[in-house]
């Protein structure tokens, strides 16, 4: 059954209808806890009552600082059903970082999982801190408060890899329309079993994970902390069919899959500026996935482009597909990717100047990414404006260089940054995680046979792992700090 968002005005309308649409089918499997769609909806209604009893009114914001779990899902949708606005907080943040986000969001309450990753959020005057694992979510009476499709449903803060995180406001209607389409593009089906590795504080985990699953009727299996052996065991035991994630997830699966039955896996979904062709080839040839989707998105506009069923593997590896319905893509004169359409955010919270800087008077969102469009309208991301470096007068794009380096059989992961050079201004330095023996001199010499001299890295550092943020992106700012020491 293909389901669209046209029947629903709001996320609560969609979520609560899941009981009638899918009934006793499994909605959430979290360790020993197994909830049907009917049971999940009952718990969401009761949680909505708990929020209402705690004084949460329509439009009030509540922060949720906790890992993926059934309780996270119940709390998030219970809050929305009570008319509140969800503020997910990055679980990698320390207490002071979380406090900054929560304070700026104006949250009326904070839900936490006490002790997760050794973090505890200190209580603030007038802002109660509620343990997600307490009996709070079960303390209310069934409740629903009317909201509108144009109401803001969530404020998701940007990852903060460069500059201070900003709160991105999205509404119910745009979220439902986009992720109903996402279900079709990803080939998510009723009855699928969806292992949600991506964190719920990120759109990939929350919107392309929880919301998409409830639109389509897929079982959600939350994973609080990525552990490759745990993931492999869950895939085998629960017959997981859908396993999206960043490229690093598939690298891990390829390295550690021995001895596990992964034959149930059908759908892979990934997205990044630096997916190497070789990785897509290996996903297709060495793992049982029959559908591989890639796409391009950002917090400020959700999923903007996606590959389509039937696209060639070469196309999936080298582009991020074509625009979603109702979305326009344009390349500015300086190469920046611009996005326009219904998916673009309502604005940055309490920051009209940053909003005006990001969205021009014609409605184009300036993404900060650099890209090209081919004759078929497929978008290729070549890097970040801030990542690009100029070597001897030529523009060098780290994502392109990383793609070449990933073709070397001894390279498992790589990140490239520009470093100062007296003669050329800047040159490339590669940070490499090895899968086999190779020296710095050998890799540099190999690079010079595969790419123009100005692109080939002049320096290579070997690391045990690359620094990643919680959404799987390499934290190049940390690599640059080591370079500039």
Q: Is 240 found in the same domain as 163? A: yes
At residue 118, the pLDDT reads: 74
> In this structure, are 120 and 170 located in the same domain?
yes
pTM comes to 0.84
Q: Is residue 1 situated within a structural domain?
A: no
Span 337-363, average pLDDT: 97
Per-residue confidence band for 393, with pLDDT thresholds at 50, 70 and 90: confident
Return the percentage of the chain with pLDDT > 70, whole number. 95
Average pLDDT over residues 350-354: 95
Strand order in the sheet with 152-157: 129-131, 109-112, 61-65, 85-88, 152-157, 167-171, 347-348
Please indicate, yes or no, whether residues 216 and 107 belong to a single structural domain of this protein. yes
- Is position 382 within any domain? no
Residues 297 and 426 in one domain: no
pLDDT at residue 161, rounded to an integer = 47
Looking at the structure, tell me whether residues 363 and 460 fall in a common domain. Answer: no
Determine the pLDDT at residue 164.
75
- Mean pLDDT for the stretch of residues 114-129: 81
Q: Lowest-confidence range among 119-133, 156-170, 193-207?
A: 156-170
What's the CATH number where 190 sits?
A: 3.40.50.12780
Give yes or no: residues 217 and 260 share one domain: yes
Residues 285, 404: one domain? no
pLDDT value at 463 more than 90: yes
Range of the domain at 479: 387-484
- Has residue 122 got a pLDDT over 80? no
pLDDT of residue 220: 98
CATH number at residue 439: 3.30.300.30
Using the predicted structure, report yes or no on whether residue 378 has a pLDDT greater than 90.
yes
Q: Are residues 405 and 295 in the same domain?
A: no
pLDDT of residue 485: 52
Domain count along the chain: 2
The residue out of 373, 405, 420 marking a domain boundary is 373
Residues 405, 352 share a domain: no
**Is the pLDDT confidence value at 3 over 50?**
no
| Residue 344 shares a structural domain with residue 424 | no
pLDDT > 50? residue 112: yes
pLDDT tens digits, 150-181? 999 999 998 654 457 899 999 999 999 999 99
């Amino acid at each position: 059954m293909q389901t669209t968002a046209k029947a629903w005005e709001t996320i609560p309308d969609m979520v609560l209808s899941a009981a009638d649409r899918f009934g006793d089918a499994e909605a959430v499997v979290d360790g020993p806890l197994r909830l049907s769609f009917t049971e999940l909806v009952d718990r969401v209604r009761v949680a909505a009552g708990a929020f209402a009893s705690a004084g949460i009114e329509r439009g009030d914001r509540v922060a949720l600082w906790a890992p993926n779990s059934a309780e996270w899902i119940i709390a998030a949708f219970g809050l929305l059903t009570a008319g509140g606005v969800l503020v997910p907080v990055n679980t990698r943040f320390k207490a002071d970082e979380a406090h900054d986000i929560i304070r700026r969001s104006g949250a009326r309450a904070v839900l936490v999982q006490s002790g997760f990753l050794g973090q505890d959020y200190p209580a603030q005057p007038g802002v109660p801190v509620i343990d997600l694992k307490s009996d709070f979510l079960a303390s209310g009476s069934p409740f629903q408060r009317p909201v509108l499709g144009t109401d803001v449903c969530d404020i998701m803060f940007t990852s903060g890899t460069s500059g201070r995180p900003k709160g991105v406001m999205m509404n119910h209607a745009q979220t439902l329309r986009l992720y109903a389409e996402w279900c079709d593009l990803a080939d998510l089906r009723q009855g699928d079993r969806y292992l949600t590795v991506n964190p719920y504080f990120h759109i990939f985990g929350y919107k392309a994970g929880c919301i998409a699953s409830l639109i389509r009727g897929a079982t959600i299996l939350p994973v609080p902390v990525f552990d490759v052996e745990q993931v492999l065991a869950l895939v085998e035991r629960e017959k997981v069919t859908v396993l999206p994630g960043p490229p690093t997830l598939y690298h891990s699966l390829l390295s550690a899959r021995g001895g596990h039955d992964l034959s149930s896996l059908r759908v892979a979904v990934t997205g990044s500026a630096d997916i190497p062709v070789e990785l897509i080839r290996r996903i297709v040839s060495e793992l049982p996935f029959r559908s591989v989707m890639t796409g391009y998105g950002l917090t400020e506009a959700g999923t903007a482009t996606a590959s389509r069923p039937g696209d060639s593997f070469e196309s999936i590896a080298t582009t991020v597909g074509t625009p979603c319905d109702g979305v326009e893509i344009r390349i500015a004169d300086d190469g920046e990717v611009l996005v326009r359409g219904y998916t673009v955010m309502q604005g940055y919270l309490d920051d009209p100047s940053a909003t005006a800087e990001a969205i021009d008077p014609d409605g184009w969102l300036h993404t900060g990414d650099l890209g090209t469009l081919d004759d078929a309208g497929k978008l290729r991301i070549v890097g970040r404006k801030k990542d690009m470096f100029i070597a001897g007068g030529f523009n060098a794009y780290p994502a392109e260089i990383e793609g070449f380096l990933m073709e070397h059989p001894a390279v498992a992961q790589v990140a490239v940054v520009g470093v100062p050079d007296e003669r050329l201004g800047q040159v490339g330095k590669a940070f490499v995680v090895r899968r086999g023996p190779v020296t710095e001199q050998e890799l540099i010499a190999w690079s010079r046979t595969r790419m123009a001299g100005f692109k080939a890295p002049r320096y290579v550092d070997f690391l045990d792992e690359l620094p990643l943020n919680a959404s799987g992106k390499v934290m190049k700012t940390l690599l640059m700090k080591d370079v500039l020491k």
